[in-house]
Amino acid sequence: MKKSVSFNLEEDIIKKIEEYQKENNLSSRSAALERIVLKLDNKDILRVVEELLNKKKTESNEHTEEKIEEEKTIIDNSITDMFNNMPD
């Protein structure tokens, strides 16, 4: 539910709101201000999501690197065993 509220803002802030209104073809300064605030909220949410995805990617890369090292060790051991078990 929307409520009517009045604010006292500096002229430069009002200009920025009006510029945003024009750039985004919004019907009013109120709509522009509402969008600006929502955009700021979304920015925080997007930052958190990005951090989580980066953390997941890092964990996945670390796990993959561990698996590669394990496989290299298994292959190295197999090759060593093959050479050790070759008849003279």
Kindly report, residue by residue over 27-57, the tens digit of the pLDDT.
999 999 999 988 887 777 778 878 888 887 7
pTM attached to this predicted model: 0.51
- The domain of 72 spans 11-85
Answer yes or no: is 33 within a domain.
Answer: yes
Answer yes or no: is 40 within a domain.
Answer: yes
Answer yes or no: is 6 within a domain.
Answer: no
Answer yes or no: is 1 within a domain.
Answer: no
Residue 59, pLDDT above cutoff 70: yes
Answer yes or no: is 2 within a domain.
Answer: no
Give the pLDDT confidence score for residue 12 in this predicted structure: 96
Give the pLDDT confidence score for residue 65 in this predicted structure: 74
* Number of domains comprising the chain: 1
Residue 8, pLDDT above cutoff 80: yes
Residue 64 · residue 53 · CB < 8 Å = no
Answer yes or no: is 23 within a domain.
Answer: yes
Residue 18: count of CB within 10 angstroms of its CB? 13
